[in-house]
């Protein structure tokens, strides 16, 4: 006995599924969820958000912690949306992200060499260490800000911070 199920996402379309096909899809969803949960990269410090995995370090290193990300087949996080920025802020970590102006002062580039188009700089940032004449060429999320979106701070690349790696799914 074959039962047909109709789903109406809008009034102009009807999607037709055979009961057996629907049951197979449900099984596939459970298998996929189990596989994703059981994979090593989803454990021990990795978090999932909007089709990417994020590794949250538990130790502190200089900005060259990027090497740790590369060894995990990832890179320092590149923030592409307000939602992603909010997600990262809510981790409550002061951490390196994948943005630097170390090649050309004042020209901010992501680790994949794309130019910064939208930034979430904290008040008065970037300041290149203006008060102390330091070269601040690397960027961290600094969560002690009033605005949960505007949290970026340029800092000395040799400062020890946690870091966040990102890997697309």
CATH number (3.40.50.11060, 3.30.70.260, 3.40.50.2020, 3.10.100.10) of 47-168 reads: 3.10.100.10
Does position 106 have pLDDT exceeding 80, yes or no? yes
**pLDDT, tens digit, 9 for 90 and up, residues 64-83:** 999 999 999 999 999 999 99
DSSP 16: E
Cα torsion for 10, 11, 16, 22, to the nearest 10°?
40
User: pLDDT class for 38, splitting at 50, 70, 90?
Assistant: very low
Mean pLDDT of 95-102: 97
Q: How far apart are CA 103 and CA 124, in angstroms?
A: 22
Beta strands in 83-156 (DSSP E): 95-100, 109-110, 138-141, 152-155
What are the residues whose beta carbons fall under 8 Å from the beta carbon of 99, sequence distance 6 or more?
78, 79, 108, 109, 110, 111, 116, 138, 139, 152
- Measured in degrees and rounded to the nearest 5, phi and psi for residue 138 equal -125, 155
Contact 121, 152 (CB under 8 A): yes
Percent of the chain topping pLDDT 90: 63
Q: Count each helix (H run) and each strand (E run) in the chain, helices first.
A: 3, 10
75-76 and 52-56 strand pairing: unpaired
């Amino acid at each position: 006995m074959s039962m047909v199920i109709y789903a109406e996402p809008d009034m102009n379309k009807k999607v037709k599924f055979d009961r057996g096909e629907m049951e197979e899809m449900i099984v596939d969803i459970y298998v996929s969820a189990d596989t994703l949960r059981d994979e090593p990269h989803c454990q021990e410090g990795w978090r999932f958000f909007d089709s990417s995995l994020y590794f949250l370090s538990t130790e502190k290193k200089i900005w060259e912690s990027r090497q740790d990300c590369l060894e995990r087949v990832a890179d320092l996080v590149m923030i592409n949306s307000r939602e992603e920025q909010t997600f990262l802020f809510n981790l409550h970590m002061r951490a390196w992200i994948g943005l630097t102006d170390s090649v050309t002062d004042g020209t901010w580039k992501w680790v994949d060499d794309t130019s910064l188009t939208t930034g979430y700089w904290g008040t008065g940032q970037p300041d290149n260490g203006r008060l102390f004449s330091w070269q601040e060429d690397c960027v961290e999320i600094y969560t002690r800000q009033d605005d949960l979106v505007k949290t970026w701070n340029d800092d000395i690349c040799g400062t020890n911070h946690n870091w966040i790696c990102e890997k697309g799914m």
